[in-house]
Structure 1
């Protein structure tokens, strides 16, 4: 009995000493914290400001610069590639099988058989009468039939890859954000919507953006190669790339030139062009021509701006010849020299 009482007494004594030690250790810490808070108010305010900044930066997605006023996006100004499809047969005859067309494969050309090969860069000006089908703005189940719209739909949908305009060798593919910035009609604009009864009260803000104007693209640049195949004894021309040129204007509205938007590898684009018809102003029933056939049949008007023929400095014609008339004549001279090369190989 005495042993149990002694053990209990020692245990209570040990607990009392431990509690006293813990309280003695906590007391100076509380005083230090209290002293730091009351004695250095500037440090505390700076810490609160830093905490507030971190909280604001941590949630940028929910941040509204206009407070509680809602912000809406004008869906009418957002470009959409989806076209309204006809719910009935839009025509007197069935054209459903036209969507299954595929381009004919190219004939294989061996390097050993290439007796002559020259690269040529040319531009297609849509203001010329022969190139008017490029500007046809008809609508069908595929959407707008303007050639630039057909090209942009193929790029936006991911069917073909767009490459940077920095060079024409297809070295830098562009992502969707870069394509959107290139084809945007302008910077986004936030417009306040005011209350009808109280003009000083703003009900909401609407974000609008101008849509892309297809009429701003009035030229296309082609990169192609002319090859004389000695096995077939004929000249072949293969389009390598195509690029839309966007017209640039001065602040007074005067045209100051054009710039390349992006490059597209033409063989990748051929299957899309094979499923889109070319506008025929004379007879829409008998045209039976696709965009792929138009390019292969060379049914467009263009002028040469550069070639590798007698061009060791790799410069365009306008860089060598400043006069525009003489530059056009030099382009025609290059066409004639390529044509004469094939003709001079024959003897009659």
Structure 2
């Protein structure tokens, strides 16, 4: 029995000594070891309160190399502001804090809905229509809104330019509307104010050509307020409805004709509308009544929230001429465009019995 108590007492003393050693090691200060994972010369990241005391800002000694949108997910993107330098170049001022009282980070991730599949055999009637949108009209004032956000300038012409620069949308020559000749970005940006050029002017009545010395239009968002649409109207017998699909969009600029003081409309380039839908789905349209109910440009065009007038139709037009080549009076041209709208409306209504 004495041997058993002696062994038990020795074990108790050993356990007590080990506990004291561990306690002393926890109280002993730890030495700082150098971090070998950081490169030499890197300033330590310190968090200091900002001016308003509501957040933390990084160490000013560390200079970022790219501009990151805090509301966007993924890699940093560089956006261009088309309101500076005659509408080209420059970078928008990206908000370093959330510019809204709510989280709108999901806006940059929006994608357009795919079109319904339409078979060629189901289209029993089709017609091509060319329209022009005049942004000076009251219903189209959102096309000239000069505000800015993280996407840059919100004027519609600037949205088109940003789609070419940042979203790899291809611009096509204005020689025809069938998207046959791609244009480089340098060729688009070379157009500026004060450059004298010689162009061929075709008389719409007689068809004669004349060389005229002109001045190229100022290529800025404020000088372009007219936009041409090419669209196809179809009746789908599978769904029994009239479908309108936009094919292309072209900005139209005013060009001076010599020293006469007169101007002529000049197409700058054509853009394929299905290529633009991804950009339009991420860009909001200005709403003067309610900021919370703003729609995107893609929703505006698909819902037809704009006013326009018809300048050409493929029906009863074997010469492929615009209305201004067949009708001289501008008032009668507008009336003829309304007659085309009425004819299409009556075609759809006559397909049904009531």
Counterpart of 1:121 (choices 108, 130, 133) is 130
Corresponding residue SS for 1:343: helix
Counterpart of 1:105 (choices 107, 114, 125) is 114
With CA pairs under 8 Å and 6+ residues apart, which has the higher RCO, 1 or 2? 1
Q: Which residue of 1 aligns with 2:300?
A: 294
Q: Which residue of 1 aligns with 2:334?
A: 328
Residue 259 of structure 1, CA deviation: 0.5
Residue 286 of structure 1, CA deviation: 2.2
CA distance in 2, matches of 1:98, 1:253: 48
Q: Which residue of 2 aligns with 1:216?
A: 223
Counterpart of 2:252 (choices 245, 258, 262) is 245
CA RMSD of aligned residues (A): 2.0
Q: Which residue of 2 aligns with 1:146?
A: 155
Q: Which residue of 2 aligns with 1:307?
A: 313
Alignment of 1:202-281 (within 5 A): 212-250=219-257, 254=261, 256-281=263-288
Q: Which residue of 2 aligns with 1:92?
A: 101
Instruction: Give 5+ residue unaligned stretches, structure 1.
Output: 1-75, 189-209
Give yes or no for contact 1:225–1:238 (8 Å, CA) kept in 2. yes
CA distance in 2, matches of 1:228, 1:297: 18
Q: Runs of at least 4 residues of structure 1 off by over 4 A?
A: 250-255
Corresponding residue SS for 1:214: coil
Taking structure 2 as the reference length, what is the TM-score of the superposition?
0.67
Residue 276 of structure 1, CA deviation: 0.2
Give yes or no for contact 1:273–1:290 (8 Å, CA) kept in 2. yes
User: In structure 2, do the counterparts of structure 1 residues 255 and 143 end up closer, same or farther at CA, with 3 Å as the change threshold?
Assistant: farther
Number of residue pairs the alignment of both structures matches:
250
Answer yes or no: is 1:135 the counterpart of 2:141. Answer: no
Q: Indicate the structure with greater helix content.
A: 1
User: In structure 2, do the counterparts of structure 1 residues 343 and 97 end up closer, same or farther at CA, with 3 Å as the change threshold?
Assistant: same
Counterpart of 1:167 (choices 176, 185, 188) is 176
Give yes or no for contact 1:224–1:237 (8 Å, CA) kept in 2. yes
Corresponding residue SS for 1:215: coil
Taking structure 1 as the reference length, what is the TM-score of the superposition?
0.69
CA distance in 1, matches of 2:260, 2:287: 33
CA distance in 2, matches of 1:77, 1:278: 24
Give yes or no for contact 2:252–2:267 (8 Å, CA) kept in 1. yes
Residue 215 of structure 1, CA deviation: 1.4
